[in-house]
């Protein structure tokens, strides 16, 4: 069994092109837009972002299946061999079973209003996103606006 480290998580998100969405006090978050804006995936490292510690098996399983939305086989193929997972339009990998045509969950009207008021996006443009995905998408949009307002990219390491 492979040991799942913070470095493995970072290697996966780097290989697949996830965007760093923020870093505060050791908490690092990443976003991946899949068939934008049909799905925005969100993953984060809660503690020890600069650590070589490993994730416990239950945490590993939750991160891989619920946040990265791939199978463990796809995860390791990406980390070890650079093979990118094939994704459906809802962001899940083809390797994960589930109804792609399941009805979308109800969306938070406040988040939808903020998207429309601040960024001119309609509910139809983000249909199917969960509240977590809407929040993540808003975070990316606010970050981009802040960088544009500041007159360029600010890089944090």
Q: Which of the residue ranges 56-60, 63-67, 72-76, 95-99 would you say has the lowest mean pLDDT?
A: 95-99
Q: Does pLDDT of 1 surpass 60?
A: no
* Per-residue pLDDT tens digits for 19-31: 988 877 667 888 8
User: What pLDDT is stored for residue 89 in this prediction?
Assistant: 79
d(CA 104, CA 113): 18
User: What pLDDT is stored for residue 17 in this prediction?
Assistant: 92
User: What pLDDT is stored for residue 18 in this prediction?
Assistant: 93
User: What pLDDT is stored for residue 114 in this prediction?
Assistant: 92
By the 8 A CB rule, do 41 and 93 touch? no
pTM of the model: 0.60
Higher per-residue confidence, 97 vs 59: 59
* Per-residue pLDDT tens digits for 102-139: 555 578 888 889 989 999 988 877 777 778 878 888 88
For the CA atoms of 96, 94, 19, 81, what is the dihedral angle to 10 degrees? Answer: 100
Confidence of residue 47 (pLDDT cuts 50, 70, 90): low
User: What pLDDT is stored for residue 79 in this prediction?
Assistant: 92
Rg of the chain over all Cα atoms, to the nearest angstrom: 16
Q: Does pLDDT of 156 surpass 80?
A: no
Q: What is the percentage of the chain residues whose pLDDT exceeds 90? A: 18
């Amino acid at each position: 069994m492979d040991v799942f480290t913070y470095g493995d998580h970072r290697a996966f998100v780097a290989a697949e092109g996830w965007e760093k969405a923020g870093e505060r006090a050791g908490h690092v978050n990443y976003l991946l837009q899949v068939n934008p804006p049909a799905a925005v995936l969100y993953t984060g490292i809660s503690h020890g972002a600069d650590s070589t510690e490993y994730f416990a098996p239950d945490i590993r399983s939750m991160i891989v299946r619920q946040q990265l939305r791939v199978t463990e086989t796809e995860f390791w193929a990406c980390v070890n061999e650079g093979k990118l997972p094939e994704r459906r339009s809802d962001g899940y990998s083809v390797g994960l079973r589930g109804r792609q045509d399941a009805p979308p969950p109800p969306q938070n009207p406040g988040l939808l209003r903020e998207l429309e008021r601040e960024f001119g996006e309609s509910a139809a443009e983000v249909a199917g996103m969960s509240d977590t995905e809407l929040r993540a998408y808003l975070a990316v949009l606010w970050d981009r606006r802040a960088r544009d307002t500041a007159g360029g990219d600010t890089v944090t390491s």
